[in-house]
Structure 1
Amino acid sequence: MLSRLLLVLASAVVMVSSQYSATINPDSVSLSLRQTWCFNQKHSCPLICLQLNGSTGASVNDCDPNTLAYSCICNNGITPNASEYSETMAYYICTEAGNQCVSNCAQGDSSCQSDCRVDHPCGAQHPIRVNVTTTSSAVAAASATASNTNTANPLGTNAATGGAVRMSSDLGHVYGLCLLVGAFIAGFAVLL
C-alpha cells in the first residue's frame, strides 16, 4: 500500500514538472462550466489510459470542480500528459488562460493577442499516433501513390484546393470502376 502511494506521488511530481501548466483563478469560470470540464476530464482519463501500452484503464481518476485539481493515473502506474489531449482539465485551463490573456490585451492590440496564443499553445504540439490500423496505412500509401502519379493540377485550381479536387477525381475513378464491375456482373448474370 505504501509503495502504491509513493508511486502515485512520484507520478504526480513528474506530471507537474514535465509540462507547461497554465493557471487560472477557478472563480473566474462559472461553476457549471467547471463541472463540465471535470465531467469530461473523468471520462477522458480511462480512454487516454487505454492508448498507453500495458494499461487497461485508470487506477486514479479524480477531479474537483471547485479547485480544478485533477488526477489521472493509469493502472500501469503511468500518468499521461493530459495537456496533450483535448477534453482534459489541462487543456481547458490552458485554453481559458489564453482567452483571459487575450481579454487583458488593449483593444485592437493584435500582436498582444497573437502572443497570448503563440507563446502558450494548448493541446498536442507533436502528437503520437496510436492505434493506427493496417487499413489506414494502406489508404495513406494509396494516397501517396496517387499524389505522386498525378502531380499536375488537371482543373487548374489553386494549390489550396488542388488536393480536394484530386481526391474527388480519384473517388470518381473508383466509383466508375465499381459501376463497370457491377455492370459486368449483371451482364454475366443475365447470360446464365
Structure 2
Amino acid sequence: MFSSVFTSTLLVLASVLTQVSTQSIDINSVAEATRQSWCSSQKAACPLICLQLPGATGDPVDNTCDADTLAYSCICSNNVSPNASEYSQTMAYYICTEANTECVNKCSTSACAAACRSDHPCGAQDPKRVNVTTTTSAVATTSTATSTAIKTNEATGAATRFALEMGHIYGTFVLITGFIAGFAILL
C-alpha cells in the first residue's frame, strides 16, 4: 500500500516538475514535427539514462512524453527520476537550447547573444563517467610508477594527436607540390 502511494506521488511530482520546466519557452514557436522528434529522443534516452543509476535496469516504470505540452516523465525501475537536464538528447536539453535560441533572437548585440548561451549551458556539463575501462601500455609495480605511466600516456596521446595533425598538413603540402610539379612538367 505504502509503496504504491509513494510511487504515485513520485509520478505526480515528476509530471508537475517537468511541466514547470516547459513554461520557459513558447511551445507554439516549435514545429509539431520537431516536438515529436524531441519526444522520441526523450523516450529513447530514458532507458539508457536509467542504466547509469545504481539499482536500476534499462526498463523504466514510466517513460512518457507529450509533444503537445512537452511534459515528460522518466522514472527508472528503482523509482528514481533522473535529472534529465544533466544529459543531452533529452527534453530538458531541447527546451534549454530552444530557450537559448529565443533569448538570442531577442538580442540586439553579439554580447547579449553570447551571454544567452554561456549563462545557460544545456546538456551534460560535467558528466559522470560510468563503466569506464582504463588501460595503460606499461605494467607498474608501485603507485609512483603508475603515476609516471599515466603521465607518459597522456603526453604520448598529445604527441600522437600532434603528429596526426602534422601528417594531415604534410600530406596536403605534398599533394599540392605534386600537382604544381605535374603542371610545371606539362608546360
TM-score, structure 1 as length reference? 0.68
- Are the aligned partners of 2:70 and 2:91 in contact in 1 as well (CA < 8 Å)? yes
Alignment gaps of 5+ in structure 1: 151-160, 170-192
**Counterpart position of 2:125:** 125
Q: Identity of paired residues, percent?
A: 48
Distance across 1 between alignment mates of 2:153 and 2:163 = 9
1:93 pairs with 2:95: yes
**Counterpart position of 2:152:** 145
**Counterpart position of 1:28:** 29
Q: Residue 9 of structure 2 is aligned with which of 6, 11, 14?
A: 6
Shift of 1:168: 7.9
Deviations, residues 32-91 of structure 1 (Å, cap 9, x unaligned): 000000011011101100111110121110100001110111010111110111110000
Q: Which amino acid aligns with 1:53?
A: P
**Counterpart position of 1:158:** none
Distance across 1 between alignment mates of 2:72 and 2:105 = 26
Q: 1:43 to 1:96 in 2, by over 3 A?
A: same
Alignment gaps of 5+ in structure 2: 138-145, 167-187
Distance across 2 between alignment mates of 1:22 and 1:139 = 48
**Number of equivalenced pairs:** 150
Distance across 1 between alignment mates of 2:65 and 2:22 = 16
Distance across 1 between alignment mates of 2:36 and 2:5 = 32
Distance across 1 between alignment mates of 2:165 and 2:120 = 37
Q: Which amino acid aligns with 2:61?
A: S
RMSD: 3.0
Matches within 5 A, 1:113-192: 113-133=113-133, 137-139=134-136, 144-147=151-154, 164-165=161-162
Distance across 2 between alignment mates of 1:101 and 1:168 = 37
TM-score, structure 2 as length reference? 0.69
